[in-house]
Structure 1
Amino acid sequence: MIVLKGASALSPFRLARFESRLQTTVPELHIVGAWHCYLIQIKSGHTLDMSALHRILQAESVSEPPQEHVVSRYVMPRLGTHSPWSSKTTELLHGAGQPIARIERGTRIDLLGWSANAATCPAIAKQLYDPMTQSLLESEDEVKTLFNVPEPLSLERIALIDLEHANTRWGLALTADEIDYLRTRYTELNRVPSDVELMMFAQANSEHCRHKIFNATWTINDKEQQHSLFQMIKHTHQHTPQYTLSAYADNAAVIEGHPTARYRPDPITGEYRHEAVLPGAFQIKVETHNHPTAIAPFPGASTGAGGEIRDEGATGRGGKPKAGLSGFSVSHLRIPTLPHPWETPRALNPRMASALDIMLEGPLGSAAFNNEFGRPNLLGYFRSFELSASKTLTRAYDKPIMLAGGLGAIDRIHIKKLRLQPGDVIIVLGGPAMLIGLGGGAASSVTSGTSTEALDFASVQRDNPEMQRRCQEVIDHCVALGTNNPIRSFHDVGAGGLSNAIPELLHDSEVGGVIDLAKIPSDDPSLSPLELWCNESQERYVLGISAAHLQAFAAICTRERCPFAAVGVATATEQLIVGYGVTLPAALHVTEQQTPQRANHTETSPTPNTLPPSVREAFAIDLPMDVLFGKAPKMHRNTAHPPPPHWPTLDSTQLDLHHAGLRVLAHPTVAAKNFLVTIGDRSIGGLTAREQMIGPWQLPLADCAITLAGFGTYAGEAFAIGERAPLALLNSAAAARMAVGEAITNLCAAPVESLSMVKLSANWMAAAEHPGEDALLYDAVKAIGIELCPALDISIPVGKDSLSMQSRWQADGATHTCISPVSLVISAFTPVADARRQLTPLLHHQTNSELWLIALDGGKQRLGGSVLAQVHADSAALPTFGGECPDLDTPETLRAFFALMNDARNAGLLLAYHDRSDGGAFAALCEMAFASHLGLDITCDNRTEHLFPHLFNEELGAIVQVADEHRTAFTDLVEQHGLTAYTQRIAHPTTAPSIRIMHNDQCLAQWTWETLFDAWWSVTHAMQRLRDNPECADEEREIARTFTAPGLKPTLSFDPAVDVAMPFIATGIRPTVAILREQGINGHIEMALCFERAGFHCVDIHMNDLITGRVHLDEFVGLAACGGFSYGDVLGAGRGWATSILERTALRDQFAAFFTRTDRFALGVCNGCQMLSQLKSMIPGAEHWPRFVRNRSEQFEARTALLEVIQSPSIFLSGMAGSRLPVAVAHGEGYAMFDTPADQAAAHVALRYINGHGQAATHYPLNPNGSPNGITGLTTTDGRITILMPHPERTPRTINLSWSPNEWGEDTPWLRLFRNARAWVG
């Protein structure tokens, strides 16, 4: 093993923050330094090129001992695990020709002032590492044990009398009925089970996987219930099956979309093409990943997002994930720097991450996976909720809700899976097996805290989105083959690992299977049969394909560098055999060099009848399929409703209006969500039509998200979230109705054509084993499944449940319990015909307009469960949460509201729209004012005693802006729809920087705009200061809170309607451009489209195509290096990609020759920019270019920023100098670091970030990465090669921008960049 020392692991501000945290334990403790250390294991019999290794890793061999009195500690990946960093970097180094077996990275921390008091050492250690994902080691000798491989555990046989002990030992969560069932079945089989079979059965039949409670029969209050929970959900689809193409039959539901033409590379030639317009379809899915996020927030949330993405990809015979949503419900944040009076102290569960840690790390994990995979996250929710019911019982989200969902595109011919035939090959596609997530399906199905800490760790997962990107490229290629798609059927690998996925794949086709454990790819030779079969290593799929297609499928995988293995075959006999002693057809032994012959499966496919007993006894699994999927005991629930809640009611007459407004806006559920939004890419894919951010001042206030069905249409899909879970503590049925209602009022911001076209995903959470909570769950499901949704003609074709939402622990000599409310999160999806007709909360800057409130409560104004009550919970022994519960009393009112919004939109009467939700009308109005940098005069009704209910009730409703000239037309429409009694004028905008509450011309309360904004922004500011660079957090707050800030102010120096490429396009000649990508690149489709629109012929070129000599750069007039995360950016953004060129002599020479030719051009965007900047030594005229390193904020930044085009030689920006344009920005490493000040002065700068006054942006976030003078694009001396960090290729149409001037036409001025290239070629 070789140990190398790398660069500093922590920036100065992170080092200072870390040291400050340590000094709360030992004040005299100081951090002398923190460095990366690399551990490298060499392949046996090989020698490393150490100089190359030092160069690639930017590391050195010297590892000096610590100074006197300094103690070193090493924070390494947890012993026995492989980090995602290791997997990616090992592949990178293999590509660079380095014969390493494995590389890992850790951090060496040198500490001065280590306490001599041994009692404090554990407290210090706790601050240094996360025991769920890391190990803390004391010496380099201990570090070198990281690669030690223990002996694998043997296969175990479990006596039937010992099943209860095994159930406890492995945390199987089997019920007594299930144990009896297993005893009966194994007695019939005349043998005992293996440990592998027991674990497989537990995962496959866990509550998480089989939804036993939702399929149970029920007795409530001694009365037999007519329906199961699932039957009530299915009732909605039975009532309204229209527009649903697949429900309850796959990984996701599929619904009808608008006709569209797909744009993608031809799977044979690689040439990009527009396909024929065909009827559209899209798949929808929403998951939760609550237990893993509670244990290890970053990987838990990351793999939650990844698992849902796989569900979309594995729908039918292959889908393409398009856009995502996310959400979090946690307990009180208790931010140390932002204490709130309602956040009372209490004992916390030591086995679970705190709410603060979950919200600091979990959203980063979810965003990171989406970012690296290449899916925009366009929607979300966040709730912080906690009520103390007694000294030892809390109603809260210590076990959080972590929501991950989205929608994708699917060809209609691929919606239905095909049945596997005997002899079909079983494929595992994706990453290798590791000891990750073992028993996660069962672990997530039990009360948190009742299992052992070791089992908690066993269910922690790890993420590798770059691997999943490669898998998706394989799926995309197969799908593009159309009717020749080799995939017959497949599943993603999630809970239970292969032990759940492969049996499901076989069972769907009513076949059995024979699986060779030796064929399963593994990075851990110590895995026992149980661990190999049941681990939940992520980024894997199982597929069934015909043996005749195996070689073609292998070629696709090889090109994408996507690992795969043919691990077995389907058999006619419905028996599952898994072991090391099976014999598989020779056709399955495929390599890149071998072409398998079609096998005669009639003669060679193994079946249970052809295998001798002596061999079968050694198998890990030898079971009839019906043991897994047969008639296991069905659950019956006998329960009763709990006593009615008696929460005290808030007396609003005793409140101070001024302070109440500030408190409500500062509650995390209401407050600004910027810290959750800007970390996630929202423009990747080029099909975003509405993201969270709105207006010139870019605040995340959109009510819904919208995507486009294709690049040449305005039709698309809209989706929104509804969630009002705390109300379930008052009335679970009302909370469920409110969730559906809120999803609809949010969705009304989009041009929804019909309620029957709206499809819901319902995610149910409850502590089903807490007395009475299951009865409340039943009430909630019945309220929407049997009553509300059928009345609205809305169906629920997909959903998920998580019914162990409680945790238990010991503290202060007592047992403490935290139980969540019965929680329903509704995600609503619908096709839309024209995304341009959307509405947002952005107010038009005209004072001759009014804001109208349509309140669907009919004047009841119920305050029970409101945020107003929650923020005054400190004033009573029990929280003031009670009172009448808001509700959707009549579905007809919601129907009328929906029709009114459509008619008013169609008549052009609405200027802005915002739903009323948490914080009531007061919060909604303030948000509209914040988004628009306007003041408001809010009017109240004639009775001031109704002031607080009027402003702060959270009944369903919406606020719209109507011009004065349209008042009569609007009120006439309101009357036509029978909503006059529900509608009132509530405010009018002003240009004054204040918000006032007015009653009969009397001002009841007044705040400056900045005062309210500061309260609303306070959570984002505090969280950013804890998580990111605190200087950046302060700078953003100062800019955001400035009422007079100009925001985005575009100006043009040219006429974008003039197409400079048109004369050359008219010749019919289309020069060929290489759309270049490396593994992990995800921005190639939109890049190709922009060049194609400018008159080029585009070809998909993977780096493997150049490496293998399939194509040569000489064949192309231009080269476009695309954005993404090549090699996961493990050694720095773009460095892995650049290394793959620089360390291959032939490839390096090929690129150098291309760059030298004066009749060739190149464009590098984002990751392509970072890669090309590291090739500057071979690019003429690029010698002064910078490297691009970590953003100053040390955070991924996704923004719409304002750029100025600088006069430069760039052929791409010819004629555009002086223009100031908004553009999508999405990167983590965009800081332009020049080698010397002279280089910065001499470099040909092409683009820079500017503020709204036209000056170079020096402050965050106007300069999102902190580059000197806002530099973000450069070119060569002759202008042929240009690199830029922003993404003009994602915003060729104005619909793609989160905001643009009304006078701009269909296309943005950025299309000129690509047209200039076509004009230059001539």
Structure 2
Amino acid sequence: MEIEAEPLESEKAQWRQERMRVLDEWCEIELKGSDALKGDVTQEPGTETDTVASETPLQDLYPLLAGPATSSIELVEGDGKEPSTSQTQNQNQKSAGNRSTFNRILDICLCRPTKTQMYPLVYTQKSLIIKLAQIPYDNSNGTHWLLLSDYFTNVTRVMSSADDVTLKPSRVGPHWVTVGFQSASPETDFRGCGVLGLLQMHSFTQRIPDNVLRAMVLLATTEPNVSTVGYSFGNLNIPGLSLPWEDDTWHYPTSISEPARIAVEASNGASDYGNKFGEPVICGFARSFGQRLENGERSEYLKPIMFSGGIGSIDEDEVRKLPCAAHQKVVKIGGPVYRIGVGGGAASSVSVQGNRENQLDFAAVQRGDAEMGGKLHRIVRACAELEPGNPLTAIHDQGAGGNGNVIKELVEGHGVTVRSENFQLGDPSVSLRELWTAEYQENDAALVDPNLLDALQAISKREKCHVSVIGDVEETQRVKLIGSDGTVAVDLDTQKLGEREKKKFHLSTVPRGLKKLELPKGLQVRDALSRVLKLPSVASKRYLTCKVDRSVTGLVAQQQCVGPLHTPLADVAVVALSHFDT
């Protein structure tokens, strides 16, 4: 299968130049809003460039969008009807080549005017342009729908031929596709987008070359945007800062880092990885707790919690995996096999719950590689953008249990025979047990259509990220691992997993001997406030935010630091799904 080439550098440069010109023309109106149009224009209106009075009725300026058979006022009020395809074509033909006052007004709104045209028209039509900018998009408005239909047609025209695509312009999402979290109601289409925003996108699709538009349309598919993190650790015990609830006689395992070190270095790692990968950390939580309970039990986050989550977008068509079928290829995508994450969380918990007090299990510790994570993501994204030729029919992230778990889940209901020599080894001394159980990061398992395997391998070669074909899906419900010497290291009957008795939970309520809240005698408000503000859960989170960039990718609309002097006070984080969002 041929992989379509990306736009030439000269074409990219041409688009960038056009984009900068557009931004330069629009910046005054965009930054100042409608106030930019309300100010006095020093240049007097010219009679040669515009002869329409300043109070021209709005409906008289929309004949090209509404058509002669439809009242133009529907652009504002709406009639709830969707025009037919033939009506769309007729109206497009009638509008071709006609330079009405409405066209010249749109030249201003869409950043395409010459200065000799712009100033007089802004002067005479400023109230009309302001009104145009304030009109919300209405999915039930027939004229709005017509504009959206034409816009969607322009986009899909460059994606495939008219013979093999069925246009459904009444159901497109915020980025010309239906996104996974979009409501089934058509009212969610272009929710929050004004008619002017739609006109801007419509004009954009008509002005740039098809191959550049195709490349930009594909940017709207599967894409991570930002991440959220959380840290739970014990009492900080900061030297020189003794807090009333801390007890410096408490013992901490030497196999675990001190809570203060975790608070600093865990956030360093999360932010560093996120920024390198392209998922800046823009929200989260931090909790510190350590206390001796009434029954004498010590309750503390000795083993810390490092929570992380990603926020992104995905096309609706890519949300569900396809059924597993015989003869599909089972592949591993991503970094090579290392002795990393062997035993996962269970192994790292032994140092807390078991008898390995002074031992560090380095094999159980994860080691992130943001560069490899980016390569893996670009492969998955490129495959999603090949729709309907996506070679990936199902994909699972490798987590706890390593290959022994992810491959079993991937071929559920079927079987596979895996050969160890088909894996790419980063460390040749890795044993079969480690290969089968290690949770090495930046690696996915996927099912691939055998007819599209060449496309996947071509993409992986471009991204310099290895793809290993480790086996074929079989009708048998057995997962086997064959060593390089031919020995059968694993022979798992997956049917047995479904026959296991379900785990039962016996729930009961344990009464707690709680006491009434009693404030210490003589406690002053200032002292109480000082204690509360020193709790890491309440105190300033500057130590988590001000040391890193929180706006990587240029899509972050609001991050944590919204207070004076970049004080992190935000209770909400906002990210745009694309650079075209308004």
Instruction: Please give the TM-score of this superposition, normalised by the length of structure 1.
Output: 0.28
Residue equivalent to 1:669: 537
Given candidates 336, 343, 361, the residue that maps to 2:246 is 343
Listed as ranges, the matches of 1:8-19 within 5 Å are none
Q: Relative contact order (C-alpha < 8 Å, sep 6+): which is higher?
A: 2
Alignment of 1:434 onto 2:338: yes
Tell me if the contact between 2:279 and 2:310 (Cα under 8 Å) persists in the aligned partners: no
Residue equivalent to 2:234: 331
Alignment of 1:678 onto 2:581: no
Listed as ranges, the matches of 1:520-559 within 5 Å are 520-559=423-462
Q: Specify the SS of the correspondent of 2:411.
A: helix
Alignment of 1:498 onto 2:403: yes
Given candidates 343, 348, 368, the residue that maps to 2:272 is 368
Residue equivalent to 2:298: 394
Residue equivalent to 1:698: 566
Distance 2:563 2:510 in 1: 48
Tell me if the contact between 1:436 and 1:535 (Cα under 8 Å) persists in the aligned partners: yes
Alignment of 1:448 onto 2:361: no
Given candidates 409, 412, 417, the residue that maps to 2:313 is 409
Distance 1:360 1:333 in 2: 11
Distance 1:578 1:419 in 2: 23
Greater percentage in strand: 1
Tell me if the contact between 1:367 and 1:679 (Cα under 8 Å) persists in the aligned partners: no
Instruction: Please list the CA deviations of residues 700-737 of structure 1 after superposition, one character each: whole Å capped at 9, or x if unmatched.
Output: 110011112332233xxxxxxxxxxxxxxxxxxxxxxx
Given candidates 310, 328, 351, the residue that maps to 1:424 is 328
Q: Per the alignment, do residues 459 and 394 of structure 1 end up closer, same or farther by CA in structure 2, a change over 3 Å counting? A: same
Q: Per the alignment, do residues 655 and 392 of structure 1 end up closer, same or farther by CA in structure 2, a change over 3 Å counting? A: closer
Q: Per the alignment, do residues 484 and 692 of structure 1 end up closer, same or farther by CA in structure 2, a change over 3 Å counting? A: same
Instruction: Please list the CA deviations of residues 546-582 of structure 1 after superposition, one character each: whole Å capped at 9, or x if unmatched.
Output: 1111111111111111122111111122111211369
Alignment of 1:651 onto 2:554: no
Listed as ranges, the matches of 1:22-33 within 5 Å are none
Residue equivalent to 2:467: 564
Tell me if the contact between 2:218 and 2:385 (Cα under 8 Å) persists in the aligned partners: no
Instruction: Supply the AA of the counterpart residue of 1:528.
Output: S
Listed as ranges, the matches of 1:719-738 within 5 Å are none
Listed as ranges, the matches of 1:259-338 within 5 Å are 259=189, 273-275=215-217, 319-338=222-241
Q: Specify the SS of the correspondent of 2:454.
A: helix
The offset of 1:511, in angstroms, is 1.7
Q: Per the alignment, do residues 558 and 551 of structure 1 end up closer, same or farther by CA in structure 2, a change over 3 Å counting? A: same
Q: Per the alignment, do residues 577 and 478 of structure 1 end up closer, same or farther by CA in structure 2, a change over 3 Å counting? A: same
Residue equivalent to 1:479: 384
Give the aligned CA root-mean-square deviation in angstroms.
Answer: 3.0
Q: Per the alignment, do residues 332 and 648 of structure 1 end up closer, same or farther by CA in structure 2, a change over 3 Å counting? A: farther
Distance 1:455 1:570 in 2: 39
Tell me if the contact between 1:259 and 1:277 (Cα under 8 Å) persists in the aligned partners: no
Q: Per the alignment, do residues 277 and 535 of structure 1 end up closer, same or farther by CA in structure 2, a change over 3 Å counting? A: closer
Instruction: Please list the CA deviations of residues 628-680 of structure 1 after superposition, one character each: whole Å capped at 9, or x if unmatched.
Output: x3222322233543331335623266311122222222222211101111344
Given candidates 351, 356, 374, the residue that maps to 1:469 is 374
Alignment of 1:352 onto 2:256: yes
Residue equivalent to 2:393: 488
Q: Specify the SS of the correspondent of 2:500.
A: coil
Alignment of 1:622 onto 2:527: no
Listed as ranges, the matches of 1:1177-1192 within 5 Å are none
Distance 2:254 2:484 in 1: 45
The offset of 1:695, in angstroms, is 4.5
Distance 1:655 1:688 in 2: 44
Q: Specify the SS of the correspondent of 2:182.
A: strand
Instruction: Supply the AA of the counterpart residue of 2:567.
Output: L
Tell me if the contact between 1:376 and 1:680 (Cα under 8 Å) persists in the aligned partners: no
Distance 1:431 1:330 in 2: 31
Tell me if the contact between 2:328 and 2:449 (Cα under 8 Å) persists in the aligned partners: yes
Instruction: Supply the AA of the counterpart residue of 1:275.
Output: V
Which stretch has the larger CA shift, 638-647 or 653-662? Answer: 638-647
Alignment of 1:255 onto 2:159: no
Q: Per the alignment, do residues 517 and 647 of structure 1 end up closer, same or farther by CA in structure 2, a change over 3 Å counting? A: farther
Instruction: Supply the AA of the counterpart residue of 2:552.
Output: I
Listed as ranges, the matches of 1:160-199 within 5 Å are none
Q: Specify the SS of the correspondent of 2:536.
A: coil
The offset of 1:685, in angstroms, is 2.1
Q: Specify the SS of the correspondent of 2:405.
A: helix
Instruction: Please list the CA deviations of residues 1210-1253 of structure 1 after superposition, one character each: whole Å capped at 9, or x if unmatched.
Output: xxxxxxxxxxxxxxxxxxxxxxxxxxxxxxxxxxxxxxxxxxxx
Distance 1:399 1:441 in 2: 11
The offset of 1:256, in angstroms, is 2.9
Distance 2:289 2:318 in 1: 42
Residue equivalent to 2:51: none
Instruction: Please list the CA deviations of residues 1095-1134 of structure 1 after superposition, one character each: whole Å capped at 9, or x if unmatched.
Output: xxxxxxxxxxxxxxxxxxxxxxxxxxxxxxxxxxxxxxxx
Q: Specify the SS of the correspondent of 1:518.
A: helix
Distance 1:483 1:420 in 2: 18
Listed as ranges, the matches of 1:1140-1159 within 5 Å are none
The offset of 1:447, in angstroms, is 8.5
Listed as ranges, the matches of 1:183-262 within 5 Å are 255-256=181-182, 259=189
Distance 1:499 1:270 in 2: 44
The offset of 1:466, in angstroms, is 0.8
Residue equivalent to 1:637: 505
Tell me if the contact between 2:348 and 2:361 (Cα under 8 Å) persists in the aligned partners: no
Residue equivalent to 1:1240: none
Q: Specify the SS of the correspondent of 2:239.
A: coil
Listed as ranges, the matches of 1:74-93 within 5 Å are none
Tell me if the contact between 2:273 and 2:370 (Cα under 8 Å) persists in the aligned partners: yes
Q: Specify the SS of the correspondent of 1:367.
A: helix
Distance 2:566 2:391 in 1: 45
Aligned pairs, number: 383
Distance 1:540 1:270 in 2: 32
Tell me if the contact between 1:370 and 1:681 (Cα under 8 Å) persists in the aligned partners: no
Q: Per the alignment, do residues 270 and 463 of structure 1 end up closer, same or farther by CA in structure 2, a change over 3 Å counting? A: farther
The offset of 1:457, in angstroms, is 3.4
Greater percentage in helix: 2
Q: Specify the SS of the correspondent of 1:405.
A: strand
Distance 2:317 2:378 in 1: 19
Tell me if the contact between 1:441 and 1:496 (Cα under 8 Å) persists in the aligned partners: no
Listed as ranges, the matches of 1:1093-1112 within 5 Å are none
Distance 2:556 2:272 in 1: 18
Listed as ranges, the matches of 1:116-135 within 5 Å are none
Q: Per the alignment, do residues 419 and 639 of structure 1 end up closer, same or farther by CA in structure 2, a change over 3 Å counting? A: closer
Tell me if the contact between 2:424 and 2:468 (Cα under 8 Å) persists in the aligned partners: yes
Listed as ranges, the matches of 1:957-996 within 5 Å are none
Q: Specify the SS of the correspondent of 1:380.
A: strand
Tell me if the contact between 1:332 and 1:384 (Cα under 8 Å) persists in the aligned partners: yes
Residue equivalent to 2:19: none
Q: Specify the SS of the correspondent of 1:654.
A: coil
Structure 2 residue runs without a partner (length 5+): 1-178, 191-197, 205-209
